Amino acid sequence: MFSKPSLVMRIAIGKFIGLIIGFIGFITLPFIWPEADLLIRWGVLLWYITVGAMIGVFGVFTWHPVLKLPMPWWLRAPLLGAWLNLVLTFFAYDAMLAMITAMPAVSAAISSPFFWFPLEGAIVGLIMGFFATRFGGEGKALVDEMPG
How confident is the model over 8-59, as pLDDT tens digits?
999 999 999 999 999 999 999 999 889 989 999 999 999 999 999 999 999 9
Q: What is the pLDDT of residues 120-133, one digit of tens each?
A: 999 999 999 999 99
Predicted confidence band at 111 (pLDDT cuts at 50, 70, 90)? confident
According to the model, what pLDDT value does residue 107 have? 66
Domain assignment present for 1: no
| Averaged pLDDT for residues 76-90 | 97
Domain assignment present for 81: yes
Determine the angle formed by the axes of helices 7-32 and 113-136, rounding to 10 degrees.
Answer: 140
Domain assignment present for 93: yes
d(CA 41, CA 6): 31
Domain assignment present for 30: yes
Residue 116, CA distances (Å) to 82, 89, 99, 121 in order = 10, 10, 11, 9
According to the model, what pLDDT value does residue 68 have? 92
d(CA 59, CA 7): 8
User: 143 or 77, which is more confident?
Assistant: 77
Reply yes or no on whether the pLDDT at 1 is more than 90.
no
Domain assignment present for 27: yes
According to the model, what pLDDT value does residue 122 have? 98
Split into its structural domains, the chain has a count of: 1
Q: What share of the chain is helix, strand, coil (3-state, %, to 5)?
A: 75, 5, 25
Looking only at the bridges linking them, the beta strands covering 63-64 and 69-70 are antiparallel
Domain that holds residue 12: 7-144
d(CA 100, CA 89): 12
Q: Which of 98, 109, 106, 134 is closest to 9 using CA atoms?
A: 134
Domain assignment present for 2: no
Predicted confidence band at 108 (pLDDT cuts at 50, 70, 90)? low
